[in-house]
Amino acid sequence: MKLQQLRYLLAIADNGLNITAASEKLYTSQPGVSKQLKLLEEELGLRLFSRNGKSLDGVTHAGNLVLEKAASIMTEVENIKRLANELQNEQEGSLSIGTTHTQARYVLPDILQAFRKRYPDVKLNLHQGTSEQIAEMMKTGLIDFAVASSSGAKSTDTVSLPCYHWDRAILMPKDHPLTQLDDIELHDLAEYPIITYVFNQNGHSSFRDAFAHEGLKPNIAITARDADVIKTYVRKGLGVGIAASMAYDPEVDNDLVAVSTHDILPSCTTWLGFREEQYFRSYMYDFIEMLAPHLNRSTVDRAVHEYRKHGHVLSIDPRQLPYKLIQRPSAKDQLAA
């Protein structure tokens, strides 16, 4: 059995059982891939795929089991290569991060600046997307780490470590009627068009749930993936914005008023996610600790051990996390300042 055969096997599965497409992806010939598949099946004494004439039309039970093992083996092969590279060049390498616009724009710049100063020879690859897109990036191995937020449960498909909490903010022009209220409640918000983030495709939304719990329905006028877009449309008078509080800069956004939703909407948690089999280089541990100081090397290693044993992390209680940002004053206080 050769690693090349396992690589071909995985490529066939990843390309819809189309050997021609798999061979093109591998930059090799279709007959060569077919031959290696045949040799592998003969050596194992198993049919890995069901066939319809010369075409593959399904994966057998044995094939699914072999594919799972093959994927694990090829991951370990890549880990060995990375280990060898690290031993030769401990300060060099690459780090690929999948994250949302909010994290990329408002949280990561200072962290990545400090990281680059410490590791100038590590290439950083930043991939932006929605939560669903980031999950797909992780699944396909495009990224090493996912940095994303949720107000509900974390993903169970990866090792997920809580980093910090943050709140949303109500954004509005200084002359908006809501700025005259001492405290803004959900029923106050429900009276105005709302501009906020695009909701997840799974339909769950703690934002909507909070309104529903009060017997209210928010008037969602516009949704966007970018907090800067939300602020633009708030300035145009198209509605009240609901965005991450970290997206409000008192100097840049001094034409707007920002009021924390801490008392009326659930807080959000930013999570760091990675695959269970992820091989960690020293600079990866350092990046995690820069992002969340409580996640030092020993904590991360313990969390991985817990995940492998229990299917989830036991030792880090997200309820004990610090808040990333301080609460902002009321609308009236901001107008008086």
Residue 160 and residue 178 in one domain: no
Residue 55 and residue 123 in one domain: no
Domain boundary among 87, 109, 134: 87
Residue 255 and residue 205 in one domain: yes
pLDDT of res. 285: 96
- The number of distinct structural domains making up the chain is 3
Check: CB of residue 331 under 8 Å from CB of residue 181.
yes
- Does any domain span residue 329? no
User: To which residue do tokens 């050997």 refer?
Assistant: 19
What is the pTM for the complete model shown?
Answer: 0.70
- Does any domain span residue 330? no
- Does any domain span residue 219? yes
Residue 219 and residue 250 in one domain: yes
Residue 252 and residue 183 in one domain: yes
Give the residue from 261, 263, 267 showing the smallest Cα distance to 171. 261
Strand partners, 51: 56
Q: How far apart are CA 187 and CA 217, in angstroms?
A: 9
Residue 248 and residue 276 in one domain: no
Report which DSSP code applies to 81: H
Residue 298 and residue 178 in one domain: no
- Does any domain span residue 29? yes
Query: Residue 96 is which amino acid?
Result: S
- Does any domain span residue 331? no
Q: What ranges in the chain are assigned the alpha helix state H?
A: 3-14, 19-25, 30-44, 61-88, 101-106, 108-118, 131-140, 186-189, 206-213, 227-235, 282-291, 297-310, 331-336
pLDDT of res. 150: 73
Residue 249 and residue 315 in one domain: no
pLDDT of res. 55: 86
Give the residue from 122, 115, 144 showing the smallest Cα distance to 279. 144
Domain boundary among 87, 104, 126: 87
- Domain with 55, as residue range(s), is 3-87
CATH at 75? 1.10.10.10
- Provide the residue-wise pLDDT of the chain in tens; the chain has 337 residues: 889 899 989 999 998 988 899 998 889 998 998 898 889 888 989 889 998 888 898 899 998 999 999 998 988 888 888 777 766 666 788 999 999 999 999 999 999 999 999 999 999 999 999 888 998 899 888 999 999 987 544 555 689 999 999 999 999 999 999 999 999 999 999 999 999 998 776 656 889 999 999 999 999 999 998 999 999 999 999 999 999 999 999 999 999 999 999 999 998 899 999 998 888 988 999 999 999 999 999 999 999 988 888 888 776 776 667 666 544 555 555 665 5
